[in-house]
Structure 1
Amino acid sequence: MTVVYESFFGFKEKPFNITPDPKYLYLSEQHQEAIAHLLYGIQERGGFVVVTGEIGTGKTTLCRYLINEMDDRTEGAVILNPNLSEIELLKSINQDFGIISVGQTKKELIDELNRFLLEERLRGKNMVLVIDEAQNLHPAVLEQVRMLSNLETEKEKLIQIILVGQPQLKKLLARPELRQLDQRITARYHLNPLNRKETFEYIQHRLDIAADDEKVFFEPAAMKYIYKVANGIPRLINVICDRSLLGAFAAGQGSPIPKKIVKQAVREVIGRRHSFGSKLPSISFSPRIFSYAFTLAFLALVGWYAFRTFSIYEASGTNSKYTELIPDLPFGEDPTTASSFPEKRVAEASQNVESPASQPAAANTGSTEEKIRQESKAELINLLLSKDYEASRLSAAKNLLALWGKYPEVTVEQADSFYLLAMSQQMRCSEFWTNFDGLRSSNLPCILEMFIPQELSPRYVVLARLNSTTGQIFYADAEPADVRLDVLDEFWLRRAFVFWRDFEQVKENLRFGDSGSQVAWLQGGLQSLGLYQGQLSGEFDEQTEEAVLKFQRQSGLLLDGIVGPRTKLILYANLKQYPVPRLNGESI
């Protein structure tokens, strides 16, 4: 029957198999960003990369696609069943890399792997290990995986490890006994379910790949219903669509597939509880129940108001000396935490920003200062609206590269990923969730993501200069404009992209116990800033760690004593010998 089902619609193969197939990978915006982060982690060879997502969001397919897209210099091994002992895991890794293994103990197996990795590195190979369903790993096995990251030369890691798993993996890595592993993670990404637009595109994408000649599609109402039931989970979408096509064939229904066929398929594969046409049980409310409910609601409202008032009072007395750079998504702790920032900024901006039409009336009633401020807001809104999303993103990328003395031909497609664009120019891109004090600490020009209440898509400007009251922005081909910070702050989503160069090609994380010329360079840099008084010994000792902590404290960074990407980029900006454009006005 399957063969007839395929030939009935003119498919070369079934379009909605639930087994991972990189050929069918739909590259949504978040999938493209995830691939950029994974490629960055692999090419930087710095530590662990973690990809998480709910069941069925396409994590395994994404990793298989990544391995297929690797260049000839990169080879990967994939462990699909990590529910293994330490010995079994090591044997599986060696076997997947094609190592003829005779070792039986952990030491023998690791020695075999180390010899293999050294030989491959001499041949110019980059080795990647992907462990799927990593949330099932026992903590002791995860610790063994961490030990594999110690296989390295004096300059670089011999193996890049990618952990893929469900959200429980984040909780597992947060356990105290795994903090050393958690600290070595250099990139994290969380895959969310598809939104409605992406769900529609995903379904049609798979249909088009499987189709031979004829165009097959679902009715819009049918796809809307699929999204409502599947909640954007690709695996569930596949199951529903596959059964819908089978049902359409059985009913002799050709393309387009109607909603009634999909509803029947949902009842068959998921159950009647997901049939939205079914009636909800009726609930009757007696006057007594209504009275109790009203009283409880009133008490809850009073309690909330008291708590809110107390919280505001407490917050008004807070005075933080330092403003920490909030971790970005590629290297941050938890994407769900970071996502609250744009929502908060959007809510604030929606309340505070007036439309250009209403601004003259407000200006006439205010003071001269308020009038100037309203005029500045109107000018900024008009400037941002002069370009659409793609044009503003493209021009921002070009303008930021120009500040670094680079003038490449950049396409709209390249500007879709600031990370890959920076890599193509032998640079790096770091993403910050921060404020203007945090940007002053980095002292590097950056791209700001701006929100306009009238628009669904953001706009992007380059912040080239920053002083106490104004910032100089570059937008598209317009002349540089000095804008009040309080006005910029109303439109800025707190998200910034910083391009920077790792001039000394320092390893991803310098930490206590490291040694060599890179540590000596670090000591020299800290010494020139008056933070380190010791000898340039090349040993990352307690005195060096204390100097790093001092630098992080004065720069508003996380106080961990580790010289990671953020500490490095701010260190370069503070060392005068490096030719970098700076927010404080110093030229390149």
Structure 2
Amino acid sequence: MYENFFGFKERPFQLVPNPDYLFLSKSHEEALAHLAYAVSQGDGFVEITGEVGTGKTTLCRVFLENLDQNTEAAYIFNPKLNAVQLLKAINDELGINSKGNNTKILIDRLNFFLMEKKAEGKRVILVIDEAQNLSKEVLEQLRLLSNLETTTAKLLQIILIGQPELAEILDSHELRQLAQRITLSYHLVPLNLKETREYIEHRIRIASRKSGIRFTLSALRAVYKYSGGIPRLINIACDRSILTAYGLNQHKITGSIAKTSIRELAARGDIRKGRGFQEGKKPILILSVLCLILILLVSLYPPDRIRPPETVAENEKPAIAQPEEQPISTDVPAEPEPEEPPEPEPPEPEVSEMAVEPEPEQPPAEESDVAESPSSPDEISVQNLGDFMAQADSRISRHMALGAAASLWNAEAVIREYLDNMEDAQAFFRLGTKQSGLLVQRVDGDFDLVRKLNLPTVFELYLPNGVSPVYLTLATMGGDGKMTFRSGDDGTVETEMDELEVYWPGTAYVVWKNFFDYPGSLPRGATDDSLITLKMILRDIGFSDIEISPVYDDQTRVAVEEIQEKHGVTVDGVVGPQTKIILYNEMTSLDIPRLSP
């Protein structure tokens, strides 16, 4: 409705768990780190809880998307099942025969599958969302499933994600055996004011083509006060505020616009049932406390003992020195100041082009988006790859390589401190690029594929006998075999293939952009919009006979296979990440930082 008016490619505050819009607050970062750690350690049970709307499902989907090829997962999102139905659902998700209603047969099939995967060196995890809806009977069945193990390791890792009631259920006496098996638990908390500002800014940046929307500080505070930092409520309030501004033909969302929108939502009863109810009761609570204080004053100091100072002076005898009596005030104590003092509406400082204006004070060091470091690799003046690696720091070089890749795409690198604690480099680059609207495709031992994809690529390099990797971003590749790597915005290293092979075991991360946001692999699970987008791209690059329809027909498959063969990638007619990259590379209208012309 308002997308074109504000320069959005889609509504930025939709109520869907879209991983592209993932914003990692400090709490979300820690929860994701807990999940990654639990999987890497093979822990049996993990519990993640959070209030309604705090982003549990989005976090869960991002976690599943970032699992490596050695991990298989079953995701159960409708847990209102009995024990047999749950077993059948788990087997269905893992591709195991789920026919029949015999519990023993279903578990035997699952156990055989788990043993096979263990022999292949793979992990299997079960993720159950909205786990607070599980009955005690089903939870007991899950405990029994956790008994599927070898003498050295669990065969199935179980992750329970739900509302705070889940913790209360697990604390019950009947489920004490299950509670004892939970090795990691974490509770998601709402965003604070600073994170709310960053969250709004992040979603606008992801949704924008060239956004002209502006939030004022008063609007931000109104949204935060209303939502309590719960992402779902922030989305509702912001979407309604933007809609109101659109109706008023305004690109600036002021505090009055935000508050008017919030009042409309409250009048309809859309939200404000939790936090709003408590805040609505705050004046009543304060008044009750004041009345209680007044009653206590009257009972302790009856009216006949309370006299003005003049009366006391007249009745005192001058010959006898009496200690001066202090009058007792009957004034009601001052009402406590509200937690958030009201602030004037106009004039309002405006927020910068795309999002809310940052607070005037500097944020604390621990909340800094980019981890500070004493030095960085691009401060080292080197031309030789070996010299550079000898002086570079692994953690800093990883940050700088990601920043260099984002810079080549004319994007701003948003690198948060929690990434420092991630040992998994693939997860680091996936999450880091996602914050900048980019993606990564991992390449293993195939430099020729890097050449074919022809995009900025982060290389994971090691010194001979080195333990910690060093990261550099390949920026250009000449016809004479010379390659230019970048570290940060300015540092450059030139090398050739012979030297690179000494330090490169084979892992690299191609950084790319999904310009038209068509998800998944086509045709499997393709939406109508995705298929139409694919056909329009094929027409744009020369396949003019392609019929524009939401059908993956033989003509489309032949065209895709022809492109795959031309670029030397696997010819299978499936449009996955590699094929999307080469399709975008064929489009001369797109601004793409290619390694070579």
Structure 2 length normalisation: TM-score? 0.49
Bigger proportion of residues as helix? 1
Larger radius of gyration: 2
Structure 1 length normalisation: TM-score? 0.49
